[in-house]
Amino acid sequence: MKFIVSSTQLLKQLQILGGIINNNNNTLPILDNFLFELTDKQLKISASDLETTMSTSVDVEADEEGTVAVNARLLLDTLKTFPEQPLTFVVEDNNTIEISSDSGKYALAYANGEEFPKAVELESPSSTTIASDILATAISKTIFASGNDDLRPVMSGVFFQFSPESLTFVATDAHKLVKYTRNDVTASEVAEFIMPKKPLNLLKNILAGSDNDVIIDYNESNAKFTFDNSVLICRLIDGKYPNYEAVIPKENPNKLTLDRSLFLNSVRRVSIFSSKTTHQIRLKMAGTELNVSAEDLDFSNKADERLQCNYEGDDMQIGFNSRFLSEMLSNLNSNEVLLEMSLPNRAGILTPIDGLENGESITLLVMPVMLND
């Protein structure tokens, strides 16, 4: 088995696939490798961690066919050092693969490609097509709100809700929640599934800036994303997603409208003086003024700021975790935001007033923290 390939093209594809391989001990040693499958001048490269498998293809010069597994870390470290040039790979009989460059030869051991786990074939899947940039945006707008609690795995992913009217993506960790909806993209039938974080982070990075479509095939247990010359297949998170609509308060008479970046900078500044355990800041609304304050009683630190705003409703005070609030404000692109509230012990709802594309809507919910007066 022999092929010639561009060093930078190969490196670019391997760096994408490298995100799948676990750096700490893999249960199967073969998973420390990339699988190379050569057929018809196409080199198909795959990586897997058993839960997620991704493969991509590169054009090569070759006359033969074959399969071989190559150590991922060794190959990546080697390729990073080469300038753009053709590299010749030759699989030798002595269990090594020899790479020839303009400046030298390098031999590394390979494993039997037949041992590499086969990707799952999806049985009777449903299918939806979505533009790459829309999917990348949907992931980046929601994934930060997903949880990390191993005891509640359903909340550690992003909930995909497809229907003939719209596509909705939801993430929550019980303290904050994001619901992102696209009315300009639809599915042929109703479907719901929970995508794990790792493959979503990979997709977000790969698809950002791409203008091609992604075909999503899914069934009860797996999802498959096909785009450009790549395929990503992953196992879905098993379980029922919580009824998130039930926690979004419907009646919110107190409405605060203000400049997003001024509010974000104020929250960040004031939070420096908040308690390091609760990160609590206090919002006090009266008339056209918002008072943002924080206090760390253990160290006698305190901060207090006043912002001009547009406020409709009763005078009220509410406490929030500043980290959650600044995370949400950073995740929006709008100039102005609306914060709707009902009571100091009910969730606040944050929505952008401008900066949305046609067919796009986003609702962010943040739980309050109890103020100790």
Mean pLDDT of the 235-251 span: 95
Over residues 158-162, mean pLDDT: 97
Confidence check: pLDDT of 26 > 80? no
Percent of the chain predicted with pLDDT > 90:
92
Q: Which CATH architecture has domain 126-245?
A: Roll (3.10)
Looking at residue 211, its pLDDT comes to 87
pLDDT at position 373 is 65
CA atoms of 156 and 142, how far apart (whole Å): 12
Starting at the edge strand that comes first in sequence, how are the strands of the sheet with 348-352 ordered? 191-195, 158-162, 167-172, 176-182, 360-366, 348-352, 336-341, 254-259, 310-312
Helix (H, G, I), strand (E, B) or coil at 165: coil
**Dihedral sign from CA coordinates of 267, 368, 299, 295:** positive
Q: What is the pLDDT of residues 270-298, one digit of tens each?
A: 999 999 999 999 999 998 999 999 999 88
Dump pLDDT digits (tens) for 318-353. Answer: 999 999 999 999 999 999 999 999 999 999 999 999
Tell me which of 63 and 274 has the higher pLDDT: 274
Express each pLDDT in 208-232 by its tens digit: 888 899 999 999 999 999 999 999 9
The CATH number of domain 2-115, selected from 2.60.120.200, 3.30.428.10, 3.40.50.1460, 3.10.150.10: 3.10.150.10
2-115 and 249-369: identical CATH topology: yes
State yes or no: pLDDT of 24 exceeds 90: no
Q: Give the Cα separation of 201 and 199 in Å (integer).
A: 5
pLDDT at residue 220, rounded to an integer: 93
Q: Alpha helix (H) ranges present in the chain?
A: 7-18, 72-79, 132-142, 197-207, 260-271, 322-330
Question: Whole-number mean pLDDT of the chain?
Answer: 95
Domain boundaries, the chain: 2-115, 126-245, 249-369
pTM of the model: 0.92
> Which of these CATH numbers, 3.30.70.20, 3.30.110.40, 3.10.150.10, 3.40.630.30, describes 249-369?
3.10.150.10
